[in-house]
């Protein structure tokens, strides 16, 4: 079942990419007590994710912070080392990378996707959400192959 607006996020283990290496975090702890702009990508270093999705959140960081977000975070079914390298390559130290290496978070929110046809295995769908104290306030899930409703621009337009 896919998570919906008004639902509390499930509590699963993630790995936060840090300069010192992966840091284990529970999603329940990470999202507690703060407002987070979360976006999910099928994979770091993939074309749309690298050319549009991540750069859009980097470009709109100041506007997102001005709208009251405590953090901007990205999740992907990649390991923390890959997400850390991707963030260093084209991201921002203001974006928190939450690695969902086994896809547990993607499955728990019902937004996992089968990319085996592309040789990528099980991944996450492309989406964005506004999470306030662990509760989903806004959810934008892309149709397969699309990139529009999960962008930073779309999120800002909805606020």
Q: Catalytic site residues?
A: 49
C-alpha 66, offset from chain centre:
20
- 108, 102 contact by CB (below 8 A): no
37: tokens are 């702009």
Handedness of CA 133, 81, 156, 105 (dihedral sign): negative
Q: Whose structure tokens read 């936060």?
A: 16
Helix (H) / strand (E) element for 47: namely: helix 47-48
């Amino acid at each position: 079942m896919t998570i919906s607006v008004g639902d509390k996020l499930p509590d699963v283990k993630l790995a936060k990419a840090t300069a010192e290496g992966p840091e284990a975090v529970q999603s329940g702890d990470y999202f507690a007590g703060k407002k987070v702009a979360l976006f999910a990508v099928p994979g770091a270093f993939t074309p749309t994710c690298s050319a549009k999705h991540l750069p859009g959140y980097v470009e709109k960081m100041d506007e997102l912070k001005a709208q009251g977000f405590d953090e901007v975070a990205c999740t992907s079914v990649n390991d923390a080392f890959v997400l850390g390298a991707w963030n260093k390559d084209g991201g921002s130290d203001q974006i928190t990378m939450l690695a969902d290496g086994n896809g547990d978070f993607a499955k728990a929110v019902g937004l996992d996707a089968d990319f085996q046809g592309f040789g990528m295995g099980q991944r996450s769908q492309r989406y964005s959400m506004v999470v306030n104290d662990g509760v989903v306030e806004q959810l934008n899930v892309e149709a397969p192959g699309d990139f529009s409703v999960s962008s930073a621009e779309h999120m800002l337009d909805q606020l």
